[in-house]
Amino acid sequence: MKSKKIIIERENGTGKILLNRPDKRNSLDEEMIGEITKAISEFETNKDIKCIIITGAGGNFCSGLYLDYLQKISEYNIIENKIDSSKFKNMLLAIYNCPKPVIAMVDGFALAGGCGIASACDMIICSDKSQFGYTEVKIGFIPAIVMVFLLKKVSETHAKELLITSKFITGEEAFRIGLVNQVVPQQELEKYVKKLCDDICKLPGSSIRLTKEMFRNISSMSFDGSLEYAVDLNAITRMTDECKHGIMNFLSKSKTNK
């Protein structure tokens, strides 16, 4: 399925959202934000899709908000700005709360809101030609919504340096501070991410879903509360067909290897 500003692809259990404005470094506007949110929702309910990739066309991931869009929101009143900000928040939440693994495949620039999209993903795999930057402060804006997701990736020390200075960092530096999971040569990026998704697609979907649910919930719980919650999910997982089947296979292989 093609749309004006994103391309949606499906292959071997993996869904891909390709940000498709290469001449504008895949910058975001209201329409594109809505399309991304809708695509994530559709992949979430598609039983054939087990893993999701978000990436950009033309050698860049996403450079944040499009200039015309920035001009438009600069003329909004406080109510209009709050409504518009909520749409961006809802897009990032759709990515973060998706029960299926979402992987950002980053090449070139991932800036401002583009960094926000990557930060909301479960994993970020980037090329050795990628650059990351939160540039909001430079134009008198603040990285308010994206900060919440960045702080789930890196320490406050690193987050403050990135957000306050608005500096750009390489993929290698992003790996060093824990923002990205892997840095691979540019020519190997797509192959690496495809292999990662193929491996994920072979894993039990119910286990992945419940594991993601735990990540989403335990940060707001007390220590004792999180352990009780873990006990409950442990018991629920043991009742699933995938877990029972997995245990049977494991025990069968163990007996065969004796």
The total number of structural domains in the chain stands at: 2
- Rounded to the nearest angstrom, the gap between the alpha carbon of residue 227 and the centroid of all alpha carbons in its chain is 27
Over residues 118-165, the pLDDT tens digits come to 999 999 999 999 999 999 999 888 899 999 999 999 999 999 999 999
The set of residues, in sequence order, having a beta carbon less than 8 Å from that of 67 and lying 6+ positions away, is 27
224 lies in which domain range? 205-257
- Asked if 138 and 229 sit in the same domain, the reply is no
Counting Cα atoms < 13 Å in the Cβ hemisphere of 169 gives 22
Q: Are residues 158 and 250 in the same domain?
A: no
Q: Could you tell me if 99 and 181 lie in one domain?
A: yes
- The answer on 218 and 171 residing in a single domain is no
Could you read off the pLDDT of 1-26 as tens digits, one per residue? Answer: 455 799 999 999 999 999 999 999 99
Does 87 share its domain with 137? Answer: yes
Strand order of the sheet with strand 51-56? 6-11, 14-19, 51-56, 102-106, 123-127, 182-184
pTM for the whole structure: 0.91
Residues 194 and 211 reside in one and the same domain: no
Residues 230 and 171 in one domain: no
The answer to whether residue 27 is domain-embedded is yes
Q: Classify residue 220 by its DSSP letter.
A: T
> Which active-site residues does the annotation give?
136
User: How crowded is residue 35: how many other Cβ atoms within 10 Å of its Cβ?
Assistant: 20
26, 19 contact by CB (below 8 A): yes
Q: Is the pLDDT of residue 117 over 60?
A: yes
Cα distance between residue 37 and residue 125, in whole Å: 21
Kindly report the CATH number assigned to the domain that includes residue 80.
Answer: 3.90.226.10
Same domain? For 92 and 129 the reply is yes
Pairing of strands 168-170, 131-133: antiparallel
Asked whether residue 76 is domain-assigned, the answer is yes
Same domain assignment for residues 127 and 77: yes
